[in-house]
Structure 1
Amino acid sequence: MDFNKRKRNEFHSYNAKRKKKEKLVINKSKNNIHTVATGPRKYTVTIALPGSIVANAQGLELKTALVGQIARALVIFCVDEVVIFDDSGIPKEQNIFERHDGVSNENVFFIHLLRYMETPQYLRKSLFPIHRDLRFTGLLNPLDCPHHLRIDEDFPYREGITLDSSLYPKVPKNCTLVEAGLRQKVLVSDRIKPGVRVTLFMKEMSSQKKYINAEVVSPSTPRETMGYYWGYTVRFASSLSAVLTESPYENGYDLTIGTSERGVAFEEIKDNIPNFNHILIVFGGLAGLEAAVDADQNLDIGGDRVEELFDRWINVCPAQGCRTIRTEEALLITLAQLKAIIMKKGK
């Protein structure tokens, strides 16, 4: 065999091996390999943050970056609910959440961006009209949660948005079509109005028929049945007291934790954290939770007695080296400290 012919054979052999390797990598990407089922998880984690922390950021771009940083922290530590509360004590227009006129206060802006980022990319165009608040969201790092699935990823659950079934052929009378980011539309055996976000249990991932069959389930089902983290919900509270009293859970939060530089060092009480079903961790703004208590007309205590509102009043970073710890920094420090305890004590 001459030299040139041998070289050509070696080149073709190498090229074939490289293509085979690339093919294997592509096939791996079809599975959501970063998601691990931890087993059924009934307990929930709620974080409460004041909307005023966004007002302290200068300019729309920096405000957007701040919310993006917070959203990343929430999903890294598997937070199930985030509450944005008004710590100013100034009444706000109640219907402002329904407006899309380009004007948002800090609470609306905060909630708008958190909800946008939690939504899978293939649903955002349908659920979020063009708005000034979202101008710089393209600069943010993606959350890449388990429910932010690619088009070819096989997974037992998916998020989708209901469609107007009358616009599509051969849809059974009592069924609804859903866009779920797949190559085919999904068919569910429920009548649901168009434009509603739904969680789907995928009975199949592909079909020889026109549509894929699935079942609508509760958004908490992936977590409660298999332990998959399925993003966070966002609600607004008009005051600090509303954070505690307007819980979506039947019996409220059974473990509440307030954070402050004037709290008890976390190391001193970490072995005295009780079991819980629904934990709530509350953070203050630039002036702390004390200022939020003073501004809350529904509370009959002053800021000097704020610790009475919580089961635990903690300081997760004693002997800090700077005058203040920013709320977004305190969020990461606190959740990192509490992660192992939450997993151990949650029921």
Structure 2
Amino acid sequence: MGNKKKRGGLEPELKEAATGENHESQNELSLANGDSSSCDNKKKKKRKRDQLNDDAPIEVPTVSVAVPGSIIDNTQSLELATRLAGQIARAVTIFRIDEVVVFDNKSSSDNYSRSSAANRSNRSDENESGAAFLVRLLQYLETPQYLRKALFSMHSSLRFVGMLPPLDAPHHLRKHEWAPFREGVTLKENAPNSVGTLVDVGLNKHVVVDQVLDPGVRVTVAMGTNRNLDADSPRQVVPPSKPKESGMYWGYKVRYAPNISSVFKNCSYKGGYDHLIGTSEHGDIVNSSDLTLPTFRSMLGYALYYWVIASVDCFWWTCWFGREH
């Protein structure tokens, strides 16, 4: 009997101890659940940050070159001027230059407007300055062949461009070639059964983009992986810098500068050029192996030669040094 009472007296204590252990295990379980939920929240936040970083544009270092328009003025004929412009365009493409700045060393005006540029570009080759001629030829040669007829009207300065070999740049794609991006021009025709714009991208059929754009505008189209041109899903218009962010060279842009000072003042890149390389016949002779380039965001190489042969040689050297170092 005494033993039974003793066991009965211990039962409440055992129950309390068991209850305490259950509470502790529940607390530990809740703490563990809290830790796992906090870890999940941290992972979700990290994924969101990674997505934002992926969507943010990638800053790709750019290399620009400046060349005087007077090298065209020194040529003896329109045919030789066209060949010289073709050599410059080929050098720019081979060395993956991002921007060509053509400065007019015969112009004294610091203020340059788009209207004056348009008036200058509409002149005939007899009255057109060397800088305006070079700008026109460089823009024409950079444009893919299937877009030139839609984007360029007939002009006497383009009389001999047919004798130049094609640049065969990465964005000069043929009909049978497929790439993640293609250059195109918007058309007047309405997109069938969809809200968007028809774009000629140089394929057998036009594609539809997801934006309503004016006709005659050059655009960069993300083609994706679906090669079915009959699909109703529209393609996407992307900035011209998007292919370069993917590691592809996507041509160069041309900028006109009325004088040498506007080459630096009117930089088209945010923050301006942070590294400059200048070459001149009056400069010091330095071996390229002795020169090192720091990390740069936008580099500009410019030549202060005004003779034809010297300018071309210096131009090739500037392109090579900017990309190979």
The residue identity in structure 2 corresponding to 1:47 is V
Q: Which runs of 5+ in 1 are unaligned?
A: 1-39, 288-323, 342-347
Matched, 1:161 2:175: no
* Structure with greater Cα Rg: 2
How many correspondences in the alignment? 262
Deviations 1:3-31 (A, max 9, x none): xxxxxxxxxxxxxxxxxxxxxxxxxxxxx
2:205 is aligned to: 184
**1:164 shift after superposition:** 1.1
Gap change, CA 1:211 and 1:69, over 3 Å in 2: farther
**For 1:208 and 1:339, how far apart are their aligned partners in 2?**
37
Gap change, CA 1:171 and 1:280, over 3 Å in 2: farther
Contact persistence 1:51–1:110 (CA under 8 A): yes
Gap change, CA 1:281 and 1:164, over 3 Å in 2: same
The residue identity in structure 2 corresponding to 1:244 is F
1:145 is aligned to: 169
User: Percent sequence identity over matched residues?
Assistant: 41
1:127 is aligned to: 151
1:276 is aligned to: 296
The residue identity in structure 2 corresponding to 1:203 is G
The residue identity in structure 1 corresponding to 2:137 is L
Q: Where do residues 148-227 of structure 1 align in structure 2 (5 Å cutoff)?
A: 148-166=172-190, 170-173=192-195, 175-207=196-228, 209=230, 213-224=234-245, 226-227=246-247
Provide the secondary structure at the position in 1 that maps to 2:281.
strand
The residue identity in structure 1 corresponding to 2:150 is S
Gap change, CA 1:213 and 1:204, over 3 Å in 2: farther
**1:87 shift after superposition:** 1.1
The residue identity in structure 1 corresponding to 2:294 is P
**For 1:140 and 1:64, how far apart are their aligned partners in 2?**
8
**1:64 shift after superposition:** 0.3
Deviations 1:16-68 (A, max 9, x none): xxxxxxxxxxxxxxxxxxxxxxxx77000100001010010111100000000
**For 2:95 and 2:71, how far apart are their aligned partners in 1?**
20
Provide the secondary structure at the position in 2 that maps to 1:263.
coil
2:135 is aligned to: 111
The residue identity in structure 2 corresponding to 1:78 is R
Contact persistence 2:97–2:252 (CA under 8 A): yes
Deviations 1:302-336 (A, max 9, x none): xxxxxxxxxxxxxxxxxxxxxx9521122113333
1:328 is aligned to: 312
**1:70 shift after superposition:** 0.7
Gap change, CA 1:152 and 1:269, over 3 Å in 2: closer
1:340 is aligned to: 324
1:52 is aligned to: 70
1:316 is aligned to: none
Moved more, 57-66 or 278-287: 278-287
Gap change, CA 1:58 and 1:208, over 3 Å in 2: closer
